[in-house]
Amino acid sequence: MEPALGSAFGVDRQLICDGTYFVVEREVQIIGCGGWSKRKTLFGGDAIKTGMDMELDPKRDSARIRACFVHPAWARCGIALSILERCEKAIRLAGFRDVELVATLTGELFYEASCYSQGVRFEIPLANGLSLPLVRMVKQL
């Protein structure tokens, strides 16, 4: 997790600017976050983005689910599911029919439970010679 933080796992400020990124708060603490995107980037924070993040065409392209994380103390309480359902509702309203995402191996089981199917598996290199296994997943709304 440590070498992935800040690069693969980082804030994509474009999602905040677009108003498509959500947090779940308990008193003053953020215990979960996640969002959706109408732009091309599939994963990663500001640190690994390059160039313009073009807007997608809802008639032709799949919307993205992006960066869903829940504090371990609040795991399996339905927090990520509530974020995902909120995102899927907004994606439908924006006119998209398909959704696509890149999941970590822990995320894979969560998305499978919400009817996302597995696609291509790949790895991205991280600092200090490690790599992060990821899987592309898709769903028709």
Ligand X SMILES: CC(C)(COP(=O)(O)OP(=O)(O)OC[C@H]1O[C@@H](n2cnc3c(N)ncnc32)[C@H](O)[C@@H]1OP(=O)(O)O)[C@@H](O)C(=O)NCCC(=O)NCCS
Q: State the residues that interact with ligand X by CB under 6 A.
A: 68-70, 75-81, 103-104, 106-107, 109-110, 113
**Cβ-based neighbours of 83, under 8 Å, separated by 6 or more:** 22, 24, 32, 33, 34, 35, 68
Q: Residue 17 Cβ, how far from ligand X at the closest point, in Å?
A: 21
Is the separation of the CB atoms in 51 and 15 below 8 Å?
A: no
Using CA atoms in the order 113, 115, 116, 119, what is the torsion angle rounded to 10 degrees? 100
- CA separation (Å) from 121 to 10, 26, 117, 134, 139? 21, 35, 12, 6, 16
Q: Residue 7 Cβ, how far from ligand X at the closest point, in Å?
A: 14
Point out the residue whose Cβ comes nearest to ligand X.
107
Of residues 15 and 70, the one with the C-beta less far from ligand X: 70
Of residues 60 and 76, the one with the C-beta less far from ligand X: 76
Of residues 81 and 138, the one with the C-beta less far from ligand X: 81
Q: Residue 59 Cβ, how far from ligand X at the closest point, in Å?
A: 26
Q: Residue 60 Cβ, how far from ligand X at the closest point, in Å?
A: 24
Of residues 57 and 130, the one with the C-beta less far from ligand X: 130
